[in-house]
Structure 1
Amino acid sequence: MECIAGLDPGRDKCGFAVLQRDGKVLWQKVIETKALEREVRAAQEKYGFTRLIEGNGTTSKEAHARLTRALPELIINVVDEYRTTDLAKKAYWRAKPPRGWRRLIPVTMQVPPEPVDDFVAVILATRYIKENYHE
């Protein structure tokens, strides 16, 4: 099945994910921005995606330029990432519910203990899939 990648670029770290076209998440990770090209190339070799959906936020233009130089065959679609961080926090708590005393505090009052950039990447790719693949 065809795969698609999602990228939430940032100054020091990026959220990165690979999904099947049916929306199933195959892999997601927070990567270092300095390793962007290497990480994307390795994932592309493993999963065979030809399209990457990139959020238009922090350092998007720089990430786009770097990937275009390193992987000229990769199709990159830049999309609006409005409200994805809020959605990613909710997705994080669904995937990793609070434990111990933290479960007593509403998750809306908590900050995830780790970056959620990879969840943003999943959301960006999922949005693109829903808007462009009507099966």
Structure 2
Amino acid sequence: MYLGIDPGRSKTGLALVAADGRIIALHIASTERIEEELRSFAGQQLLSHIVMGDGTNNKAIGKAVARVFPAVELDLVGEAHSTEEARTLYWQENPPKGWRKLVPLGLLVPDEPLDAYAAVVQVRRWLNKK
């Protein structure tokens, strides 16, 4: 199991991802309470690796991750275009229904923040490089 992290200033996306890239769980965490949120979301999981985006606030969140999971290796991956990939992933996982099916996906706005999906993108990028 892999923990993906999309760091941010006020909110941080968290995702538990299987070795084959399947999404196990998603969570939007308060960056202010990141250690508590990490323990609550992934503290009981047997993590083989942690993958985090190299963008906004990654150094502070990386320190928090090291305190919560000192024995688990952390790798940084590039975040370029991860929001666009996260939007595509969101619509794959949550296909539009009703009248929304008639609207091009590029014009639709997801019903929730994409940070957790961006965390999945980070893990999948790392897995593809591995």
Same fold (TM over 0.5): yes
1:86 alignment counterpart: 84
Name the CA distance, whole Å, in 2 between partners of 1:42 and 1:113: 24
Q: Which secondary structure state, in structure 2, belongs to the residue aligned with residue 38 of structure 1?
A: helix
Runs of 4+ in 1 over 3 A off after TM superposition: 42-45
Instruction: Find the aligned partners of 2:35 and 2:110 in 1 and give their Cα distance.
Output: 27
- Aligned positions of 1:21-40 closer than 5 A: 21-40=19-38
Letter in 2 for 1:100: G
Q: Which runs of 5+ in 2 are unaligned?
A: none
**Distance in 1 between the 2:43 and 2:51 partners?**
17
**Further displaced range: 68-77 or 86-95:** 68-77
- Equivalent residues of 1:88, 1:120 under 8 A apart: yes
Distance 1:47 1:71, change over 3 A: closer
CA shift for structure 1 position 124? 0.7
CA-atom RMSD, angstroms? 1.6
Q: Greater shift after overlay, 56-65 or 68-77?
A: 68-77
In structure 2, C-alpha distance between the alignment counterparts of 1:42 and 1:111, rounded to whole Å:
29
Matched residue, 1:7: 5
* Structure 2 Cα separation of the partners of residues 51 and 41 of structure 1: 15
Q: Please give the TM-score of this superposition, normalised by the length of structure 1.
A: 0.85
Structure 1 alignment gaps of length 5 or more: none
Aligned to 2:107: 109
Is the Cα–Cα contact under 8 Å of residues 14 and 33 in structure 1 kept in the other structure?
Answer: yes
C-alpha distance in 1 between matches for 2:80 and 2:13? 15
Shift, 1:99, TM fit: 2.5
CA distance, structure 1, for counterparts of residue 23 and residue 111 of structure 2: 22
